[in-house]
Structure 1
Amino acid sequence: MSRLLYRLGRAAALRPWRFVIVWLVLVGVVAGVAGVAGGSLHDNYTLSGSGSQKATDLLKERFPALSGADARVVVHAKSGKVDQAALASASGELRRLPHVSEVAPPQPSRDGATALITVRYSVPVTDLAPKPTLDKLRGATESLDEAGYQVEFGGQVPENVTAPGGVAEAVGIVAALVILFLAFGSIVAAGLPLVVALAGLGVGVSGITLLAAFTNVATTAPTLAMMVGLGVGIDYALFILTRHREGLAAGLGVPEAAGRAIATAGQSVIFAGFTVLLALCGLVLSRIPVFMTMGFATGLVVAATVLSAVTLLPAVLGLAGARVLRRRDRAPGATISAESPRVRRWAEHVGRRPWPWLLAGLVLMLTLAAPAAGMRTWPSDASSEPTSNTVRQAYDLLAEGYGDGANGPLLVAVDLKKVDQGALAGLSGRLARIDGVAAVAPPQMSPDRSAAVILVTPKYGPQDKEVTGLVDRIRADALPPGTEVTGLTAVYVDLSRVLSDRLWPVIGVVVATSFIMLMIVFRSVLAPLKAAVMNLLSIGAAYGVLTAVFQWGWGATLLGLPHSVPVSSFILLLMFAVLFGVSMDYEVFLLSRVREEWQLSGDARGSVSTGLAATGRVITSAALIMVAVFLGFAMDPGLIIKQMGVGLAVAVALDATVVRLVLVPAVMSLLGRANWWLPGPLDRVLPDIDLHGGTEPAGEAGREPQPSHA
């Protein structure tokens, strides 16, 4: 493959405008088709076989008015009571809004100072434009606002409104540009990785919109894909650019240096990207549509950034010529050393005393991971929003006027084809006697009287750890066959359990497939095993830091959260797949260089320090860029993206410091020649892949043609 990549990179540098034009056309065509034929984003949290899903399906069939989205209008009088006539007038306006199927009678609080109007829609929340729908709710209740009442909005529709994006991406791009300039000392060299990464993002994100035309794609998928794609895209271009600059400094012409860079670092980029794709494919095992589409969407962007790195980057390198070097580095006789003497000295120091450093590194990583033992995962709700947000104010008003459980009512769906209608009174009585139930509303009959719904208000808020036990007690002690419980809280209980049950199969498959791929690439058993263990340590430490920052509240306020919150249920599975793939990138680049030195010298310990020294600067720069990009996304208003940004930044930082500078040299020094041991039977059947060979096919050396800029 290196021979093919060499020819590709050299051809792109010789005829750069052809490749640039192809990419411009590709970006424009994909974006244009996505704008015309692309679909809209939809969250699909279907949990086949769960109790909450069975109840939801029954509601869709028998209670069409209850099957769509909902919104809650919370009206509060700063003094006195809310006027019933004003509420009735506003309810009439709400009934005339598009897609509204039902407006429940206003429900006053005990003191009359607060009133709740529940608005139900005939379509799911993903079929409603969030911001315009919320604006229509505000317009319909304008009379209440003019009368001096405080009017706030909660429920699915208002909670689906997200703050404008773009800030996180901008922060990451600016930080990456600064780091690249400090690393290369050239504006041209600093800008090229960004241009290449953004081109890949353009194709990938437009591809996500096209994907949404054929299947449900989660609303957070594009943001997650951009976060990962921006980080890996810049890093991939950085690794190739570094190798290209080394070639120029060695006296190679631009096309030859570009060809060799693509044949060597470009091949490593392809394998690194393939590793990320393998890890993301593990999300298919979750069998939860929203996770599967997140994996597909992110994988699409990663594949596009790999393609841009190995085809567009050599073209722009051909256009840039020697300008990717500092002025002083272009002078005759100037040299560029990629090696870091400090990293070499450090690696040799660790190699001489591996046991103390190994134990110290393990103690640090395990200490950081320790809080994860007490991690509580739970989806976020309106109580996690800033106090200035209308959904948070609606949440607080409901909790104050009706109790915490009013923000997370449970719906008991009864199939009257399986349960006698006369048993409804007894069922309501049993529900009312269950510990943790605050109130039980009278049964509501479906239009054809074939089903009933009983509204149960818990004593606990949706994020309270007691709600899980309450849902379990209701299911075990009160519900006869033909009866199921749903509602947002019950869905959360089922979702958290499904994710917990499917985490370990995903971990097993992702680790196993990554191990096999690295074993093929590096022809070793212990080196990929060590890489897998190190990645698991990094992920465990990231989980621990997430628990301390968010659940313990050590950094919640700094990240714009009003108080401590549980770690989102989506994080464990999603972050593992993304992080395992991203962390493997550094292993591919590092181990490929160490193996190259091992094959040249046969010195097991010396090859480790030489490989670390050769990759020290570029991996450090790459890690800094990734950390900056991920921390930029920690500013995103969405809790899932915020937690993902923090977790990925922590893991990459630990991977580039503790793992790469302490654990890797210590373990590889202890293993010595065993690092590259491969059993005889495997040695005979595994292909021999040379990540650093084939830079120049025989017969193609000689006079160096100059790149065409016309």
Structure 2
Amino acid sequence: MSRLLYRLGHGAAAHPWRTLSAWLLTAAAVVGLSVAVGGTPQDDYNVTEARAQVGIEMLRDHLIGAGNTFARVVVHDRAGEAPSPKVLDDLAGRLRAMPHVVQVSPPQVSGDGDTALVGVTYDVPVTDPDLMGNLTPLERAVAPVRTAGLQVELGGEVPEQAAAPMRGQGEVIGVVAALLILVLAFGSVVSAGLPIAVALGGLAVGSAGVTLLAATMDVSTAAPMVATMVGLGVGIDYALLLVTRHVEYLRAGHSVPDAAGRAVATAGRSVVFASSTVLVSLMGLRLAGLPVYSSFGFATAIAVVSVMAAALTLVPALCRFAGLRLLPRRVRKARAQGGVPLTARWAAKVGRRPLPWAVAATVLMLGLAVPALDMRTWPQDPSSQSTELTTRRAYDLVAAEYGAGANGPLTVVADRRDVTDARVESIRAALLGRDDIVAVTPTVTSPDGALAVFDAVPAYGPTDERTGGLVSDVRASLPGGVEVTGTTAFFSDIADLLAGRLWLVIAFVVALSVVLLAMVFRSVVIPVKAAVMNLLSIAAAYGVMVVVFQWGWGTELLGLDHPLAVSSWVPILMFAILFGLSMDYEVFLLSRIREDWERTGDAHGSVVRGLSATGRVISSAAAIMVAVFLGFATEVDVVVKMLGVGMAVAILLDATVVRMVLVPATMSLLGRWNWWVPAWLDRVLPTVRAEVTDADLPATARAADVPSLPEPERVPVGAR
């Protein structure tokens, strides 16, 4: 592979205009194809493994509109007067005239009379393209009521899917922060701008690829956001690694094409295997049991492959255009940089007393992870959103006027072939007699007489920690042929399902990653240790997320007004993405350490020199990733906030505590045992190497027009 990658990098740099033209033509073709035949992201909320889905299907089969989506219009008079009946009648007429509406319920007036709740039932699921993300018909219908001076807020599934659109500020913040970090780290505007340009180019093709994916399968409307978040971060990281290695070869006096070829053959090989670990982790999302996670995995994989391809081809071409301008001015003037790199001094310091450093770092990570034991998950709910959203204001109005449980009633569906009407009424009476049920609606029979349906209103809101137990208790008290469904029951099922599947995803991703690393580094200790450390950093991120969101220690800083449960969607998605990203840094660092180890046989010195060679690029890459993720934490949607905060914390801990303390400390403790592998396993495992030495590359002559530049000072093992 090394010679193939060398030819790819050297050829791209030797013929930059051809490479750029080929890339632009490919990008134009992919984008054009996506415009012509691409699909539109559309969620699939059917979860066959959720018990509530049984009741939903029963409703869909026998009640027109039931089991599909709905909306709520909450009309409130701030002066405390009752809304005019004529205003409400006119509103109902406009609501009935909207597309796909099959029923508008009579206004349900609050006890004090100043609020009316109007339900709207549709004949299609919320994922229908006519409804998904489209609030315009509802806004037009309620506009005259607002003009009349009444407060109108929108709730229910349709508004919830449209009320908190992505603003796109996360990408802007991430790109600007990345540029500043790279300028400060490398002292060259060209070196700073090149990785960002490459990442954005690859991400553009990846986004078009996601659109093409949407033409072949249901792709969640949130999948492009996740793909962008990850693609932007890893794209900059991959390009940055290649540019850094290219600059090293330039400083050693190689010609620009030769430096580009060597950079792609060495660092590019690390990029290939690092991206492979990300793809392995993303494929684990399919085991989560929900279709939405499969679309997350495929969409993000497309973005990762696109930015990887851009890094391997565009970086050498753009490096040819940049020439020696990639070097800081002081290096171009042939002034050597004296002194020992900070990362080398730090690695030597940790290596001198590895045990105390390892213990201290482990205690810190475990301490941060402890709050994760208290994690409570629940799917996204309007009560967790910002008060600037109409869905949150509608939720609060309903809770204040009708009771907290009115936002999440339990729908009881009875098959009349299995349960008599008398039995249904006895079930209603039993539920009404419970302390945790405050109201039960009259029974409704389906037009074909097959079903008996009624709602039970809990005494507390859907996100209350007692809700899951309530759903389980009610189900346990019901006979066969009777199901509990509705949004609250459905969310409870999803929370339980994802909590159980998390361990399956973890086992799959960890096992495959360990095997892949064992193949790459010919070691048993290295991959197991890497997996444990990655699990530790992710657990610590979970713990911080619990403290910030569930315990409420940082909600105000994020624009939230109260503590809330961790979204059920977040832990699995975070794990799959973060494990792959952490393995990126592991491959980048260990490939350089192993390269030095194979050349010198010095177990301790290779750690110091490897960390010295990669410390700056890994730290800069991690800082960029943290900035990108924190940029997404500024979005309105609370799930995006959780993903942004959780992944930023994990990357920060991984790049500091893990890479700068635990890795050098444990490798110093283990010495030669780091590279131990049983002979039988060494024979069985395919031979794969993440990085190669210059001896593996074709011999090339230094270009005559390239000035001799000072080589970076060799880092002594005992550096202080």
Match for residue 103 of structure 2?
102
Deviation, 1:428, is 1.6
Name the CA distance, whole Å, in 2 between partners of 1:60 and 1:529. 49
In the TM superposition, 1:144-159 aligns within 5 A as 144-159=145-160
Asked if structure 2 preserves the Cα contact closer than 8 Å seen for 1:255 and 1:706, the reply is: no
Asked if structure 2 preserves the Cα contact closer than 8 Å seen for 1:380 and 1:565, the reply is: no
Match for residue 578 of structure 1?
577
Name the CA distance, whole Å, in 2 between partners of 1:465 and 1:693. 54
Name the CA distance, whole Å, in 2 between partners of 1:635 and 1:305. 24
CA deviation digits over 1:61-93, x for unaligned, max 9? 112311321110001122221222321221111
Deviation, 1:132, is 7.6
310, 326, 350: which is aligned to 2:328?
326
230, 234, 240: which is aligned to 1:228?
230
Name the CA distance, whole Å, in 2 between partners of 1:533 and 1:618. 23
Name the CA distance, whole Å, in 1 between partners of 2:240 and 2:133. 42
Give secondary structure in 1 for the equivalent of 2:66. Answer: helix
Asked if structure 2 preserves the Cα contact closer than 8 Å seen for 1:271 and 1:588, the reply is: yes
248, 255, 258: which is aligned to 1:256?
258
Name the CA distance, whole Å, in 2 between partners of 1:363 and 1:606. 26
Letter in 1 for 2:59: L
Deviation, 1:419, is 2.3
Asked if structure 1 preserves the Cα contact closer than 8 Å seen for 2:108 and 2:118, the reply is: yes
Give secondary structure in 1 for the equivalent of 2:636. Answer: coil
Name the CA distance, whole Å, in 2 between partners of 1:24 and 1:257. 24
Deviation, 1:32, is 2.0
Residue 100 (structure 2) pairs with residue 85 (structure 1):
no
Match for residue 473 of structure 2?
473
Name the CA distance, whole Å, in 2 between partners of 1:147 and 1:591. 68
Higher mean C-alpha deviation, range 581-590 or range 26-35 = 26-35
Asked if structure 2 preserves the Cα contact closer than 8 Å seen for 1:344 and 1:612, the reply is: yes
Change (3 A) 1:706 1:16: farther
Deviation, 1:637, is 1.5
Asked if structure 2 preserves the Cα contact closer than 8 Å seen for 1:90 and 1:144, the reply is: yes
CA deviation digits over 1:192-219, x for unaligned, max 9? 1011111111111111111111111111
TM-score normalised by L of structure 1: 0.96
Name the CA distance, whole Å, in 2 between partners of 1:49 and 1:589. 40
Asked if structure 2 preserves the Cα contact closer than 8 Å seen for 1:438 and 1:457, the reply is: yes
Letter in 2 for 1:451: L
Change (3 A) 1:230 1:71: same
Change (3 A) 1:588 1:637: same
Asked if structure 2 preserves the Cα contact closer than 8 Å seen for 1:6 and 1:262, the reply is: yes
Structure 2: which 5+ runs fail to align?
707-720
Structure 1: which 5+ runs fail to align?
none
Residue 510 (structure 2) pairs with residue 511 (structure 1):
yes
Asked if structure 2 preserves the Cα contact closer than 8 Å seen for 1:159 and 1:391, the reply is: yes
Give secondary structure in 1 for the equivalent of 2:455. Answer: strand
Name the CA distance, whole Å, in 1 between partners of 2:704 and 2:13. 10
Higher mean C-alpha deviation, range 231-240 or range 597-606 = 597-606
In the TM superposition, 1:473-552 aligns within 5 A as 473-477=473-477, 479-552=478-551
Asked if structure 2 preserves the Cα contact closer than 8 Å seen for 1:80 and 1:113, the reply is: yes
In the TM superposition, 1:696-707 aligns within 5 A as 701-702=700-701, 704=703
Match for residue 711 of structure 2?
none
Give secondary structure in 2 for the equivalent of 1:555. Answer: coil
CA deviation digits over 1:428-476, x for unaligned, max 9? 2122123311111111122211112211111111111111111111101
Name the CA distance, whole Å, in 1 between partners of 2:123 and 2:556. 38
Change (3 A) 1:696 1:258: farther
Change (3 A) 1:336 1:253: farther
Deviation, 1:46, is 2.6
In the TM superposition, 1:120-199 aligns within 5 A as 120-129=121-130, 133-161=134-162, 162-199=164-201
In the TM superposition, 1:284-433 aligns within 5 A as 284-331=286-333, 333-335=334-336, 341-433=341-433
Asked if structure 2 preserves the Cα contact closer than 8 Å seen for 1:340 and 1:617, the reply is: no
Letter in 1 for 2:299: A
Match for residue 28 of structure 1?
28
Deviation, 1:606, is 1.3
Name the CA distance, whole Å, in 1 between partners of 2:693 and 2:610. 20
Match for residue 629 of structure 1?
628
Name the CA distance, whole Å, in 2 between partners of 1:177 and 1:145. 45
CA RMSD of aligned residues (A): 1.8
Letter in 2 for 1:136: P
Letter in 2 for 1:452: A
Change (3 A) 1:412 1:395: same
Deviation, 1:303, is 1.0
CA deviation digits over 1:166-202, x for unaligned, max 9? 1110000000011111122222111110111111111
In the TM superposition, 1:608-647 aligns within 5 A as 608-647=607-646
Asked if structure 2 preserves the Cα contact closer than 8 Å seen for 1:228 and 1:302, the reply is: yes
Name the CA distance, whole Å, in 2 between partners of 1:237 and 1:623. 13
CA deviation digits over 1:292-330, x for unaligned, max 9? 111111111011111111112111112221221123322
Give secondary structure in 2 for the equivalent of 1:118. Answer: strand
Higher mean C-alpha deviation, range 613-622 or range 131-140 = 131-140
Deviation, 1:43, is 2.0
Give secondary structure in 2 for the equivalent of 1:125. Answer: coil
Name the CA distance, whole Å, in 2 between partners of 1:22 and 1:706. 28
Match for residue 448 of structure 1?
448
Name the CA distance, whole Å, in 2 between partners of 1:173 and 1:516. 34
Name the CA distance, whole Å, in 2 between partners of 1:118 and 1:315. 59
Name the CA distance, whole Å, in 2 between partners of 1:393 and 1:617. 47
Name the CA distance, whole Å, in 2 between partners of 1:454 and 1:209. 42
Match for residue 595 of structure 1?
594
Asked if structure 1 preserves the Cα contact closer than 8 Å seen for 2:432 and 2:439, the reply is: yes
Name the CA distance, whole Å, in 2 between partners of 1:654 and 1:55. 44
Name the CA distance, whole Å, in 2 between partners of 1:501 and 1:185. 48
Letter in 1 for 2:633: A
Letter in 2 for 1:221: A
Deviation, 1:706, is 9.3
Give secondary structure in 1 for the equivalent of 2:569. Answer: helix
CA deviation digits over 1:218-238, x for unaligned, max 9? 111111111111001000000
Asked if structure 2 preserves the Cα contact closer than 8 Å seen for 1:386 and 1:560, the reply is: yes
Name the CA distance, whole Å, in 2 between partners of 1:401 and 1:689. 65
Asked if structure 1 preserves the Cα contact closer than 8 Å seen for 2:502 and 2:571, the reply is: yes
Residue 656 (structure 2) pairs with residue 654 (structure 1):
no
Deviation, 1:693, is 2.5
Letter in 2 for 1:139: R
Name the CA distance, whole Å, in 2 between partners of 1:633 and 1:257. 36
Asked if structure 1 preserves the Cα contact closer than 8 Å seen for 2:595 and 2:692, the reply is: no
Letter in 1 for 2:111: R
Deviation, 1:703, is 6.6
Asked if structure 2 preserves the Cα contact closer than 8 Å seen for 1:44 and 1:218, the reply is: yes
Letter in 2 for 1:86: V
Higher mean C-alpha deviation, range 543-552 or range 44-53 = 44-53
Change (3 A) 1:534 1:415: same
Letter in 2 for 1:102: Q
Higher mean C-alpha deviation, range 525-534 or range 431-440 = 431-440
Asked if structure 1 preserves the Cα contact closer than 8 Å seen for 2:525 and 2:675, the reply is: yes
Match for residue 669 of structure 2?
670
Deviation, 1:50, is 2.7
Name the CA distance, whole Å, in 2 between partners of 1:406 and 1:125. 21
Letter in 2 for 1:254: V
Change (3 A) 1:706 1:315: farther
Letter in 2 for 1:657: T
Deviation, 1:120, is 0.9
Change (3 A) 1:214 1:199: same
Higher mean C-alpha deviation, range 581-590 or range 413-422 = 413-422
Letter in 2 for 1:120: T
Match for residue 213 of structure 2?
211
Change (3 A) 1:457 1:369: same
Give secondary structure in 2 for the equivalent of 1:111. Answer: coil
